[in-house]
Chain A
Amino acid sequence: MYYTCICMYNPQRGGRRCNESIRSVENTKTKKMSAVKLESETMADGVSQLQKQLVDYTASLFDEAFLDEQFNQLQQLQDENNPDFVVEVVSLFFKDSERLVDELTKALDQQTVDFKLVDKNVHQLKGSSSSIGVQRVQRACIAFRDCSEEQNVEGCLKSLQHVKHEYSLVKNKLETLFKLQNQLLAAGGPLPR
């Protein structure tokens, strides 16, 4: 029996050897069978490219101090039982932070600023930033706290702007990070640890 065409999946896993065996047989019909290499090599390339992109992007976030070691700790907590742990906790952080920023905006907008309230909210924001590992936001909160301790309204308003700025930067970065992770998972690749 002769086949007109052979489709080989995954040249990396014996497909190449298979092809060589076919080409080395005496029978010309077999020898000249066309062989179609399926896309798996390209697929593997695609996955490793995405992995590299993700690793590089993550490294840049650490280099630029958007993230620190605590974020690594959170990633280590993610496992098969809780595959979305990091996204879940970061989403909680986003929700909580946006609420706290609103409270702070309101508090600083009052005729008489309640600095105790400001301090309480900044403390909470600093705490959750530290728990997530978003270092630049945490640092901005520390500076904010100094101003609120001095009861310096001007300083507090500037600090709030800075916090909002750092928060929106890191939110963007994290959303991009999660998008890259999803792309990698969709392409069948495992997330780098």
Chain B
Amino acid sequence: MVTASATASASASSSAAPILMGWDGDEKPHVLAVDDSFVDRRIIEKLLTNSACKVTTAENAHGALELLGLADGQQNFGNTVSKVNLIITDYSMPGMTGYELLKKIKESPTGKEIPVVVVSSEHIPTRIEKCLEEGAKEFLLKPLRQSDVNQLRCHLMKLGNPSDEGMVCMGR
């Protein structure tokens, strides 16, 4: 994966700490990870913290929407999280799927700018296509590796930073 920015790193080794591109020292990117599996939530959390991200997890789509302040008829915004720079969601979840969550996020005026990545343990091309069509930045297969997560950093949204216009991520 190559970025077009002048500070592009060479393809990072999976064990090396990824180069923080344009992030201030104290400001860690905040990722919301959604997955109904305890095991997978713990693993994705570790992969993300290894990649110098701050992580919030949700165990289902509805919980994720509440954290984003996007749930239907949401009254209580006490638990909403601030400044999410990336959402990673599992596809197969009970209740609302990752695809449906993606749609909901993309339909909302506040949510639609947040990059969303969908992950799944199943390789189903039609599923992948429809997620990408709906605006997912990437569709990754589980189990995720450190290298997969490190590469996601190019999708992280730097809120209100026009200098990111020039950055381009090539697909996997």
Known A70-B143, A73-B143, A73-B146; judge A128-B46 contact (CB<8 A). no
Q: Is B145 an interface residue (CB 8 A)?
A: yes
**Are A127 and B38 CB-contacts (below 8 A) given A73-B145, A77-B46, A77-B146?**
no
Most buried by A among B42, B50, B142: B42
A89 touches B42 (CB 8 A): yes
Bitwise interface map of B from 32 to 72 toward A, beta carbon under 8 Å scored 1, else 0: 00001111101100110010000000000000000000000
Query: Nearest Cβ in chain A — how far from B45, in angstroms?
Result: 10
Partner of B142, one of A92, A93, A120, A127: A127
Bound-state CA distance A33–B12 (Å) is: 60
CB pair B42 A128 closer than 8 Å: no
Tell me if B5 counts as interface (CB < 8 A to partner A). no
Given the interface pairs A70-B143, A127-B121, A131-B142, the reply to whether A82 lies near B46 with Cβ below 8 Å is yes
What interface size band does chain B fall in? 10 to 19
Tell me whether B151 is interfacial, beta carbon within 8 Å.
no
Q: Please name 6 pairs of A and B residues whose Cβ atoms are closer than 8 Å in the assembled complex, sorted by A.
A: A77-B46, A82-B46, A123-B92, A128-B37, A128-B39, A132-B39
A129 to B146 alpha-carbon distance, docked (Å): 18
What 7 additional pairs, Cβ within 8 angstroms, besides A126-B121, A127-B92, A128-B37?
Answer: A77-B46, A77-B47, A88-B42, A92-B39, A96-B39, A127-B121, A128-B38
CB atoms of A131 and B37 under 8 A apart: yes
- B-side residues, CB < 8 A to A, are 15, 36-40, 42-43, 46-47, 50, 92, 94, 121, 142-143, 145-146
Is the beta-carbon distance between B40 and A85 smaller than 8 angstroms? no
Contact B37 A85 (CB under 8 A): no
Residues on A facing B (Cβ under 8 Å): 70, 73-74, 76-77, 82, 85, 88-89, 92-93, 95-96, 120, 123-124, 126-128, 130-133
Specify which chain B residues have a CB less than 8 angstroms from the CB of A74 in the assembled complex: 43
Contact of B38 among A96, A123, A126, A133 (CB under 8 A): A96
Residue of B nearest to A128 (CB): B39
Complex CA–CA separation, A77 to B42 (angstroms)? 11
Judge whether A76 and B143 touch: CB under 8 Å: no
Q: Which residue of A lies closest to B14 (CB)?
A: A76
A70-B143, A130-B121, A131-B143 given; A77·B39 CB < 8 A: no
Residues of B within 8 A of A124 (CB): 36-37
Question: What B residues does A132 contact at CB under 8 A?
Answer: 39
Q: Which residues of B contact A133 (CB under 8 A)?
A: 143
Q: Do residues A77 and B38 form an inter-chain contact, with CB atoms below 8 A?
A: no
Q: A94's closest neighbor in chain B, by CB?
A: B39
A93, closest chain B residue (CB): B39
Contact A127 B37 (CB under 8 A): yes
